[in-house]
Amino acid sequence: MEENEKVSMVVAIYKSEKFLDKLITSIINQTYKNIEIILVDDGSPDDSGKICDEYAKKDVRIKVIHEENSGACAARNNGMKIATGDWLVIIDGDDWLELDYVEYMLRLVHETNSEMGMSTEIFTTRDRNQTKEDKIECWTSEYAAAQIILPYIAIGPWNKIYKTEMLRKNNLTFSRPWSGEGLYFSSFAAQYANHVGVGHRKVYNYRLNNTNSGLTHYNLKMGTNAAENIRYIKENLVIKTPLLINACNWHIWKNYNFILFLIIATDSKKENIGLYKDCLKNNRSLFISANLKADLKLKTKIKNLIIGLFPVWYAKRSLKNQRKALKKDLME
């Protein structure tokens, strides 16, 4: 592959010192060399900033931004502002990449002449099995956005690549509050793109065992912010079709169950009894319309039926399973 196009790689970093060597090494050793590495230290109280500076001394492709703690959205936006690449990828500060991540992402957009590319699958610290088959497809903007919203594609911005010009033309940034901001960004990018190149090979490694992340430290704000964001997405759809509207309605229903899960996980039912009852009410009232109209797979419909009938039991069961999985997740 010719390397005449530059890819900007923006990494928002906060309290990630024990993960940075693995992450940065996976970036600087990419098989595709024409990259710009933008490390944004979001006011980390640990040695994350120092580690970034040390790597910048060794590799001229690395730029480091140090800023006061403002959150991942602001950090990503500040990194995107100084990006000079033709293409942009977003990476979380505790994850890492397969060495051909950039090369593969560029294949997706080049072979389909798309302004956005994404893989449907990712590695996690609990799933190390590569997909058995891969084929590159070209999805319409509408279909790609629906798959992100449902979500059959991981909703984070990080297993995707974006044409920088397309993002800037549409003033697309991480302008929504934390939790659900990745869903907003990637679903709108898909709608703005001419179409989306899609593959199925795993090239991104997502960490599930970071004890500093929202995946392990449950916070009710995650659910309420996500609820606000999915409503905003529905109200401001670029492509207003039944497929996307129904996908949003399903996500709204699912988010009530996510909030219910978080109330149980944080043992805060007493303090949030009104919200708790509201979640149960909307689980029942929205269930039929949300699940019948959305473009869902049979397996998902069966799972949702169980959630609809036994929401509290399912939330408690999910919490138990997540805690059990975390204890077994010992991958460094």
Question: Contact at 8 Å (CB) between 67 and 28?
Answer: no
Extract the tokens encoding 283. 């689980």
Radius of gyration of the chain (CA): 20
Q: How far is Cα 190 from Cα 247, in angstroms, rounded to an integer?
A: 14
Examine the pLDDT at 211 and tell me if it is beyond 80. Answer: no
Average pLDDT (286-310) is 93
Given the structure tokens 């109209």, which residue do they identify? 293
Whole-number pLDDT of residue 213? 63
Whole-number pLDDT of residue 180? 86
Q: How confident is the model at residue 91 (pLDDT cuts 50, 70, 90)?
A: very high
Given the structure tokens 């799972």, which residue do they identify? 303
Q: How confident is the model at residue 217 (pLDDT cuts 50, 70, 90)?
A: confident
Extract the tokens encoding 239. 């492509």
pLDDT digits 0-9 by tens, 224-283: 999 999 999 999 999 999 999 999 999 999 999 999 999 999 999 999 999 999 999 999
Instruction: Compute the mean pLDDT over every residue in the chain, rounded to the nearest whole number.
Output: 94
Average pLDDT (125-149) is 95
Whole-number pLDDT of residue 210? 76
pLDDT digits 0-9 by tens, 31-60: 999 999 999 999 999 999 999 999 999 999
Given the structure tokens 């594609």, which residue do they identify? 153
Whole-number pLDDT of residue 214? 58
Whole-number pLDDT of residue 218? 87
Q: What residues pair up with 67 in beta bridges, in sequence order? A: 42
Query: pLDDT > 90: what percent of the chain?
Result: 88
Q: Which domains does the chain have, with CATH numbers?
A: 7-206 (3.90.550.10), 220-328 (no CATH)
Residues with Cβ < 8 Å from 180, sequence gap 6 or more?
225, 226, 227, 228, 229, 230
